[in-house]
Amino acid sequence: MPRYRITIEYDGTPFVGWQQQDNGPSVQVALQEALHALSGETTPVFGAGRTDAGVHAYAQVAHFDLSREWQTDRLRDGLNAHLGRQPVAVLRALAVDDEFHARFSALRRHYIYRIANRRPKLALDEWRAWRVPVPLDADAMQASAQALVGNHDFTTFRASECQAASPVKTLDFISVSRHGDMVEVSTNARSFLHNQVRSIVGSLKQVGTGKWHPGQMAEALLACDRKACGPVAPAHGLYLARVDYTENSADELGDADT
């Protein structure tokens, strides 16, 4: 059966997350329903990352199998037509071999967390950034975050309901930068624990406001204790920004590992 890879952007606000659940609409189900309306086939859509309720995506990746071949532009446009007014867009579609798996073939996942560091309320970025009205020292946050890079036990920054077999992960990169009133935390790793990025950002906010001293991120990491984590940042500031694959499965906009 032909296999297709799609790259998707979505506003996570109205969804209970990527994955199908009984308590509300999901991105996965929206895509599966659009695919059924287009092709007449009932087929599962597998995503690269199971984003939580309220989390957005610039470039989520998914795959599915169909019984016949489709022109990829027609597949993309047809899915978008059937998605209607839902805040989900298929950016591109590619035919891939049957060994490709959106989740298990991924080499690295990139996330961005957006903090609107301003006192006025948000008009355009409401539910798309975390408004922090007190000043943040982005340089202190950047310096403190570097203690997290590498292979560590991330128990402190792991949700209590996380189902991962081990709390040990390798964080390849993290950066905190300011762009006017917007502070962005960018990070990537092969995989993340449940709520890991939001837990890290919430703790970095404590450093940025001066509530934590600069070395406290390292101390929290070494504590391997969830109680050492700062308040978890809200979901609506988080974006799945990119997923990297091997060069031979890269799409035309450069999703390959770099």
**For position 202, which CATH number holds?**
3.30.70.660
92-97: average pLDDT: 96
Q: Please tell me whether residues 123 and 201 are part of one structural domain.
A: yes
Q: Please tell me whether residues 118 and 190 are part of one structural domain.
A: yes
Q: Please tell me whether residues 8 and 92 are part of one structural domain.
A: yes
Q: Please tell me whether residues 132 and 175 are part of one structural domain.
A: yes
Is residue 208 one of the residues assigned to a domain?
Answer: yes
Instruction: Give the tens place of pLDDT for each residue, 203-238.
Output: 999 999 999 998 999 999 999 999 999 999 999 999
> How far is residue 251's CA from residue 156's CA, in Å, rounded to a whole number?
36
178-188: average pLDDT: 98
More confident call, 249 vs 161: 161
Is residue 251 one of the residues assigned to a domain?
Answer: no
Q: Which two tokens stand for residue 216?
A: 């406290």
Query: Number of folded domains in the chain?
Result: 2
- Cβ within 8 Å of residue 71, ≥6 positions away: none
Q: Which of 11, 22, 52, 97 is catalytic?
A: 52
Percent of the chain residues topping a pLDDT of 70: 95
Q: Is the pLDDT of residue 83 over 70?
A: yes
Residue 25 and residue 15 in contact, taking contact as beta carbons nearer than 8 Å: yes
CATH of the domain at 21: 3.30.70.580
Q: Please tell me whether residues 127 and 140 are part of one structural domain.
A: yes
Average pLDDT, the chain: 94
Q: Please tell me whether residues 13 and 76 are part of one structural domain.
A: yes
- Cβ within 8 Å of residue 143, ≥6 positions away: 214
Q: Is the pLDDT of residue 255 over 90?
A: no
Q: 117: closest CA among 132, 127, 128, 130?
A: 132
Is residue 257 one of the residues assigned to a domain?
Answer: no
Q: Is the pLDDT of residue 249 over 80?
A: no
Model-level pTM? 0.93
> How far is residue 26's CA from residue 19's CA, in Å, rounded to a whole number?
6
Q: Using 50, 70 and 90 to split pLDDT, how confident is the model at 201?
A: very high
The confidence score (pLDDT) of residue 247 equals: 62
Tell me, letter by letter, the H, E, C secondary structure of the chain. CCEEEEEEEECCCCCCECCCECCECCHHHHHHHHHHHHHCCCCCCEECCCCECCCEEEEEEEEEECCCCCCHHHHHHHHHHHHCCCCEEEEEEEEECCCCCCCCCCCEEEEEEEEECCCCCCCCCCCCCEECCCCCCHHHHHHHHHHHCEEEECHHHCCCCCCCCCCEEEEEEEEEEEECCEEEEEEEECCCCCCHHHHHHHHHHHHHCCCCCCCHHHHHHHHCCHHHCCCCCCHHHEEEEEEEECHHHCCCCCCECC
The confidence score (pLDDT) of residue 29 equals: 97
Q: Using 50, 70 and 90 to split pLDDT, how confident is the model at 120?
A: very high
> How far is residue 217's CA from residue 201's CA, in Å, rounded to a whole number?
11
Q: Please tell me whether residues 207 and 169 are part of one structural domain.
A: yes
Q: Domain containing 83: what range?
A: 3-105
Is residue 130 one of the residues assigned to a domain?
Answer: yes
Task: Examine the residue annotation and report whether 251 is marked as an active-site residue of this protein.
Answer: no
The confidence score (pLDDT) of residue 22 equals: 87
Q: Please tell me whether residues 93 and 201 are part of one structural domain.
A: no
Q: Which two tokens stand for residue 162?
A: 């996380």
